[in-house]
Structure 1
Amino acid sequence: MTSPPLLIDGHLDLAYNAGLGRDLTLDLGALRAADPVAGQTATVTFGELRAAGTRVCFGTLFALPRTPGSPGGYTDHAGARGQALAQLDRYRRWEDGGLVRLLRTGREVEAHLAGPEGALGVVLLMEGADPVRDADDLGFWVEAGVRVIGPAWGRTRYAGGTDAPGGLTDAGRDLVTAMRGLGVALDASHLDDAAFWEALDLGGRVVATHANSRALVPGNRHLTDEMARAVAGRGGVIGLVFLSTFLRAGWEVGQARVPRSEVAAHARHYAGLVGWEHVGLGTDLDGGFGREKVPEGVERYRDVLGVLDVLPAEHRVAVAGENWRRWLTRYLGER
């Protein structure tokens, strides 16, 4: 039997889901039977990640802002910081229990991948920078292990974001400059176009942990061809998202789930622009949506392996994890 390829996922909201009451240490069937999250059938557990061969992921610190659909979200910096600190504590508790290993440098990633299978390697990614008080506060989060930051989700104090046009604020320019100085990579996912180009002008490492192609699905949540070229031009990798609304324009709940070939379409488009060496996975599974909104055939996380089957055989290993491995071992934590 052929062993599964190394799998590295560029985007998973593990601690956020635990904060919703999901026990990711359970078998997936047991988690679903007791799931406190209605209408979003869970796909991710630690067992599922092991079954898929996932050795490393970018695990988020994601503070949810208050919106009409999320009345319990944060309304100020203190609220955002509180959410992120609680999630950081969750990762540390998992690490104490041997479930994860927090990775801070390329050498640590390399050593982790060379070692025996066991704990899941986690690179801390802050999605939306509102938990950071200001640029002077960045050192605290770097010391805590954060190595990648996406300044925006929707609009934040730092940048325009998804469905919220705008550039970097003064605080955002200070933050991105400080990130470059401390070796924190920029996650371009969620940045509005104006903020994206301003951030790139300030230099530093860039990735897009979970961002599909705007050429196939309209909207500022996705990367234009020029943005994709810019990320790749800095040596970055772009992670493919498994949300159906991000895969097929106009898809709505109630329609048939999109086929796995839609993931391949985004992969092929990016590869045609920048080469297969810059394409990876950023599934975002259970990132505010469940099995109902993912491609056909993905019933649980381990089924991510099946999606690779629709990619060209000679590029599957690279997309599954080798491209992220190369970026992580070369650049993680580098100034």
Structure 2
Amino acid sequence: MNAPPFLIDGHLDLAFGAALGRDLTLELGALRASDPVQGETATVTFSELRAAGTRVCFGTLFALPRTAQSPHGYADHAGARAQALGQLDHYRRWEDAGHLRLLRTGAEVAAHLADPAAPLGVVLLMEGADPVRDADDLGFWAQAGVRLIGPAWGRTRYAGGTDAPGGLTDAGRELLAAMRGLGVTLDASHLDDAAFWEALEFGGPVVATHANSRALVPGNRHLSDGVARAIAGRGGVIGLVLLSPFLRAGWTPGQPRAGLEAVADHARHYAGLVGWEHVGLGSDLDGGFGSEKTPAGIDRYRDVPRVLEVLPPGQRAAVAGGNWARWLTRYL
């Protein structure tokens, strides 16, 4: 397969991994040898991203809530904010060291893509809005470079989310109005349907940075056909997640990993609904899982271009990065 001109990944939890103690400046073998995260074999480092041809990604600020599985997560706004600020500092220090460049506008993305010597470009995405104190606090985060927000993960103070049905709260409606005013894009990933349809009424651009199809895998974590059509109707792009339980219904650890053809199934389903021009990558690699749960054949990040081999040849470059590049240069 001829390599695509570049990759753009709609979703990578780079700073979350760093907050767990992973040093993404290492080569992957060295990171795996010293990885503080147990049970999840790492796939992502800066050198792996370069080897894959990744020019831009949406890098998250993701605050982990306290659950039975995550007893050290946040329990209130202050805890969520502290996590997000710590992750923002990681991105800034990486930028100072030359590992990446933070991008804030479509013009900056276009110039970045035109420079083959540029480091990884990162557009900041907040996944779960609990770090935002209230609508008046949104300006702080926008000034810091946050260009997209997904109001939910599970349930947040703002919206119903994954496995937590419900619409927008009053605070969520105020946040969406503020996002519209400041030009911050809505990321529909993780939003419950009720919250999504309310949020859509506020207008403005919308994407799903990392969300597979509910027609193939049940559950409100995945997009219904109606939601996918609505995102495309606003010019948005949907990123394909490279996680076996999100690719094949009923997959559980210990089973053979989902194949790359399962990724193609989700891509073809979306393309049949809304056209290939709205399909991209949103790998979420190392986003709370390791290579044990990636599709077969994706054992490290530099393997991601293998996904393109199961897609129609005429659509590979667009899915690899062209569709996200078009969206970024038009709407960011």
Same fold (TM over 0.5): yes
Q: Secondary structure at the match of 2:11?
A: strand
Paired residue secondary structure (1:293): coil
Q: Secondary structure at the match of 2:10?
A: strand
In the alignment, structure 1 segments of 5+ residues that lack a partner are none
Secondary structure at the counterpart of residue 94 of structure 1: helix
Match of 1:203 in 2: 203
Whether 1:249 and 2:210 are equivalent positions in the alignment is: no
Q: Post-superposition shift, 1:4?
A: 3.8
Q: Which residue of 2 aligns with 1:50?
A: 50
The answer on 1:15 being equivalent to 2:24 is no
C-alpha displacement of 1:265: 0.1
1: distance between equivalents of 2:259 and 2:220? 24
Aligned counterpart, 2:179: 179
Q: Which residue of 2 aligns with 1:317?
A: 317
Aligned partners of 1:125, 1:325: CA distance in 2, in Å?
16
Aligned structure 1 segments of 4 or more residues deviating by more than 3 angstroms = 1-4
Q: Which residue of 2 aligns with 1:140?
A: 140
Q: Secondary structure at the match of 2:65?
A: coil
Deviations 1:121-147, CA, capped at 9 Å, x for gaps:
000000000000000000000000000
| Higher mean C-alpha deviation, range 44-53 or range 117-126 | 117-126
Pair 1:277 & 2:277 matched: yes
Q: Is contact 2:4-2:320 (8 Å) kept? A: no
Note the 1:154-165 alignment, pairs <5 A.
Answer: 154-165=154-165
When the two structures are superposed, what TM-score results if normalisation uses the length of structure 2? 0.99
* Residue 115 (structure 1) shift: 1.1
| Helix, strand or coil at the partner of 1:177 | helix
Q: Could you say which residue in structure 2 is the equivalent of 1:68?
A: 68
Query: What's the offset of the Cα at 1:78?
Result: 0.2
1:98 and 2:108 are equivalent in the alignment: no
Q: Which amino acid aligns with 1:101?
A: R
Give aligned-pair identity as a percent.
80
Q: For 1:117 and 1:49, how far apart are their aligned partners in 2?
A: 14
Q: What is the aligned partner in structure 2 of residue 286 from structure 1? A: 286
Write the distance in 2 (CA, Å) between the matches of 1:180 and 1:246: 30
**Residue 116 of structure 1, CA deviation:** 2.6
Distance in 1 between residues matched to 2:214 and 2:191, nearest whole Å: 13
Secondary structure of the residue that 1:60 maps to in structure 2? strand
Contact 1:211 1:241 in 2 (8 A): yes
Q: Deviations over 1:174-231 (max 9, x none)?
A: 0011101100000000000100000001111100000000000000000000000000
**Aligned in 2, Cα 1:108/1:45: closer, same or farther, shift over 3 Å?**
same
Preserved contact between residue 55 and residue 117 of structure 1 (Cα < 8 Å): no
Tell me the secondary structure at the aligned position of residue 255 of structure 1: coil
User: 1:5: Cα distance to partner?
Assistant: 2.7
Contact kept, 8 Å, 2:4 with 2:317, in 1: the verdict is no
Residues in 2 aligned to 1:178 and 1:50: alpha-carbon distance in whole angstroms: 36
Moved more, 117-126 or 218-227: 117-126
Secondary structure of 2:310's aligned partner = coil
- Provide, for residues 293-330 of structure 1, a one-character-per-residue CA deviation record: whole Å limited to 9, x for no partner: 01000010010011110001000000000000000000
Calculate the aligned-residue CA RMSD, in Å.
Answer: 0.8
* 1:115 paired residue number: 115
One-letter code aligned to 1:98: G
**Which residue of structure 2 lines up, in the alignment, with residue 27 of structure 1?**
27
Extract unaligned runs of 5+ from structure 2.
none
What's the counterpart of residue 266 of structure 2? 266
Letter in 2 for 1:303: D
> 1:232 deviation in Å?
0.1
Aligned 8 A contact 1:28 1:48 in 2: yes
Query: 1 CA distance for matches of 2:234 and 2:3?
Result: 32
Distance change in 2, residues 1:316/1:177 (3 Å): same
- Residue 230 of structure 1 corresponds to 230
In the TM superposition, residue 2 of structure 1 has moved relative to its aligned partner by 4.6
CA contact (8 A) 1:4 1:52 kept: no
What is the distance in 2 between the residues matched to 1:116 and 1:218? 41
1:124 maps to 124
SS of 1:246's partner is helix
Contact residue 28 and residue 44 of structure 1 kept, 8 A: yes
Question: 2:8·2:57 contact (CA, 8 Å) conserved in 1?
Answer: yes
